Amino acid sequence: MSYGSLSAFGDTWCRYSPDTETLEAAHDLVDQYLVFAEEAQVGNDIIDEIELPVPKPVLIKSFGLVIAAEHRPQIRTLLIKAGMTLAQYRDDVGPRIRLKPTTPHGRPRAARSREYERRLEKKLVAAAAERINLGAFYRRAFTEAIH
C-alpha cells in the first residue's frame, strides 16, 4: 500500500473541511478499531488483516481524517500511535504470529523451519516499512489540515 499521495484516499481529504457526517463516520470507525485492538491485545504480534473489523484502507483513511480534525496535541499523538498499529495487520499471514520480547540473556530458540523464518522476516520488514509510511502519512494529514 502506498501513501505517497494523499489523494489516493479519495476526495474527502483535508484540503476541505469534511462534512460532519463524514467526520462522525470516521470517528466511529476509529473508535470501533480502538475497542477491537484493546480486546485483541495486539502487542507486537503480526496478525492477518482479515481479522480487522473494517477493511484496512478504510481504517487508514478514517485515522487520517480524525487526526487532521484533532486540535489537541496529546490526543493527536495517541491517535497517530494507535493508527500506526495497523501496520501489524498484514495480508495473508494466516495464524497470528506472536512476538514476545526476550530477556537480555535470551531464551533457547524454538526449532522453526527455514520457510517459517523467511516468512516471518518478510512480514516484519513489511510491517516496519508500513509503520514508517503511516507515520509520514498521518503527519502530512495533520500538516495539510492546518494550512
pLDDT band at residue 102 using 50, 70 and 90 as cut-offs: low
Instruction: Answer whether 94's CB lies under 8 Å from 48's CB.
Output: yes
d(CA 76, CA 95): 32
Q: Can you give the residue ranges of every domain in the chain?
A: 23-99+113-146
The model's pLDDT over 115-126, given as tens digits with 9 standing for 90+, comes to 888 888 899 999
Q: Give the predicted TM-score (pTM) of the model.
A: 0.77
Residue 10 in this model has a pLDDT that exceeds 60: no
pLDDT band at residue 142 using 50, 70 and 90 as cut-offs: confident
* Percent of the chain at pLDDT exceeding 90: 46
